[in-house]
Chains A and B, each alone.
Chain A
Amino acid sequence: MNRNVDLEQEGIVVKKSCCYFCHQNCGVLAYVKDGKVIAIEGDPEFPTNTGGLCCRGNIALLHLDHPDRINYPLKRVGKKGEGKWEQIPWDQAISEIAAKLAAIRDEFGSEAVATAGGTQRTDDWARRRFMNLFGSPNGFHNSHLCWIPTFMIETAICGWSPFEIDLGASRCLVLWGQNPGVSSLPEMHHLTEFREKGLKIMVIDPRFTETAAKCDMWLPLRPGSDLALILAWLNVILYEGLYNADFVENCCVGFGELFAHVEQFTPEWAAPLTWLTADQIRESARMYAMNTPGNIQWGPCVDQLGRVSGAAIHARALLRAVTGNLDVPGSDLLTGPSREYITDEEMEGNEFLPEEQKAKQIGSDKFKLLTWPGYSKIAEATKKIWGKAPTAEWMCEAHPPSVFRAIISGDPYPVKALLVSATNPVNSFGESKVVLEALRKVEFMVTCEYWMTPTAALSDYVLPIAGALERPTITSSYGCTDFLLASQRAIQPMYERRNDYNFWKDLGVAMGQGEHWPWETVEDAYFAKIEPLGYGTENYDEFVEWYRFHFPERQYQKYLNQGFATPSGKVELYSSTLKDLGYPPMPEYVGPVENEIDHPELAKEYPLVLTTGYGFMPFHHSEHFNLRSVRYINHEPHFQINPKTAKEYGIKENDWVWIETQRGRIKQRADVTQAVSPKVIVTERGWWFPEREINEPVLGGCMESNTNVLTSTRDEDCDPISGTWANRGLLCKIYKVDGKEGK
Chain B
Amino acid sequence: MARYAMVMDTRACIGCQSCTVACRTHNNLPVDMMYNPVTTVGPTGVFPDLHMVHIPLICMHCENTPCVDACPTGASQRRDDGIVFVEEKKCVSCKACVMACPYGARVPNHEKGTVQKCDFCMDRVDKGNVPRCVQTCHQKARVFGDLDDPNGEVSKLVNGNHVVRLLGELGTEPYVFYILGLEAQIR
Could you tell me the distance between the alpha carbons of A642 and B132 in the complex, rounded to whole angstroms? 37
**A218 with B48: in contact, given A1-B132, A213-B42, A632-B31 (CB under 8 Å)?**
yes
Task: Chain B residues near A181: list those with CB within 8 A.
Answer: 14, 16
Whether B123 sits at the interface, judged by CB under 8 Å, is yes
In the complex, are the beta carbons of A58 and B136 less than 8 A apart? yes
Binary flags per residue of B112-154, CB closer than 8 Å to A gives 1, else 0: 0000000001011000000010011111100000000000000
Cα distance A192–B24 in the bound complex, in angstroms: 27
Determine how close the nearest CB of chain A comes to the CB of B112; give it in whole angstroms. 13
CB proximity of B53 to chain A, nearest CB, Å: 8
Count of inter-chain pairs, beta carbons less than 8 A: 128
B57 within 8 A of A: no
Interface residues of A in 603-632 (CB under 8 A from B): 617-618, 628-630, 632
Tell which of A4, A633, A674 touches B17, judged by Cβ atoms closer than 8 Å: A633
Chain A residues lying within 8 Å of B53, measured Cβ to Cβ, are: 213
From A59, A208, A220, give the contact of B25 (CB < 8 A): A59
With A41-B135, A52-B135, A617-B17: A213-B47 Cβ-Cβ less than 8 Å: no
Q: Count of B residues near A, CB < 8 Å?
A: 39
| B1 nearest CB across to chain A (Å) | 23
A213-B42, A632-B32 given; A52·B15 CB < 8 A: no
Q: Are A628 and B31 in contact (CB under 8 A)?
A: yes
> Are B47 and A186 interface neighbours, CB within 8 A?
no
A197-216 Cβ-contact flags toward B at 8 Å (1 or 0):
00000000000101111100
Contact partners of A677 in chain B: CB under 8 A: 47-48
A3-B135 in contact given A617-B17, A618-B21, A629-B24 (Cβ < 8 Å): no
Contact check, A192 vs B12: say whether CB atoms are below 8 A apart: yes
Q: Which residues of A contact B15 (CB under 8 A)?
A: 210, 617
The answer for the CA separation of A61 and B24 in the assembled complex, in Å, is: 13
The answer to the question of A54 belonging to the interface, with a C-beta cut-off of 8 Å to chain B, is yes
B18 and A58: CB pair below 8 A? yes
How many angstroms from the CA of A4 to the CA of B28 in the assembled complex?
A: 8
Any A CB within 8 A of the CB of B43: yes
Q: How many A residues touch B, CB cutoff 8 Å? A: 46
Interchain CA distance A53-B20 in the complex, whole Å = 11
The answer to whether B135 touches A617, judged by C-beta atoms less than 8 angstroms apart, is no
A618 to B24, CA, bound (A): 15
Residues of B within 8 A of A44 (CB): 135
B16 neighbours in A (Cβ, 8 Å): 54-55, 181-182, 185, 210, 617-618
Q: Is A675 part of the binding interface, using a Cβ–Cβ cutoff of 8 Å? A: yes
A700 close to chain B: CB less than 8 A: no
Closest B residue, CB atoms, query A182: B16
User: Is A51 an interface position by the 8 A CB rule?
Assistant: yes
CB contact between A3 and one of B45, B47, B52, B121 (< 8 Å): that residue: B121
Q: Min CB distance, B110 to chain A, in Å?
A: 16
B47 touches A220 (CB 8 A): yes
> Scoring A residues 42 to 57 as 1 if CB is less than 8 Å from chain B, else 0, what string do you get?
1010000101111101
Q: Is B95 an interface residue (CB 8 A)?
A: no
Instruction: For B17, list chain A residues within 8 Å (CB).
Output: 55, 617-618, 633
Does B50 make an interface contact (CB < 8 A)?
A: yes
Rounded to whole angstroms, the CA-CA distance of A642 and B47 in the bound complex is: 8
Which residues of B128-187 have CB atoms within 8 Å of chain A's CB atoms?
132, 135-140, 183
- Is the CB–CB distance between A188 and B139 below 8 Å? yes
Task: Report how far A3 CA is from B18 CA in the complex, Å.
Answer: 17
Name the residue of chain B whose CB is nearest to the CB of A49: B138
- A674, B121: Cβ atoms closer than 8 Å: no
Q: B72 to chain A: closest CB distance in Å?
A: 27
Q: Is B26 an interface residue (CB 8 A)?
A: yes
CB of A676 within 8 A of chain B? yes
- Residue contacts A-B, CB under 8 angstroms, 19 given: A1-B26, A1-B132, A2-B26, A3-B124, A52-B136, A53-B136, A54-B18, A57-B18, A57-B136, A59-B21, A192-B11, A208-B43, A208-B52, A212-B50, A213-B183, A617-B15, A629-B31, A642-B47, A675-B50
Given A55-B21, A185-B138, 16 other A-B contacts at CB below 8 A?
A41-B136, A44-B135, A51-B135, A52-B136, A53-B136, A61-B25, A185-B139, A188-B138, A189-B12, A192-B11, A192-B12, A208-B48, A210-B52, A212-B50, A674-B44, A674-B50
B residues within 8 Å of A by Cβ?
11-12, 14-18, 20-22, 24-28, 31-32, 42-48, 50-53, 121, 123-124, 132, 135-140, 183
5 residue pairs, one from A and one from B, having the closest CB atoms:
A52-B138, A185-B138, A213-B52, A55-B21, A181-B14
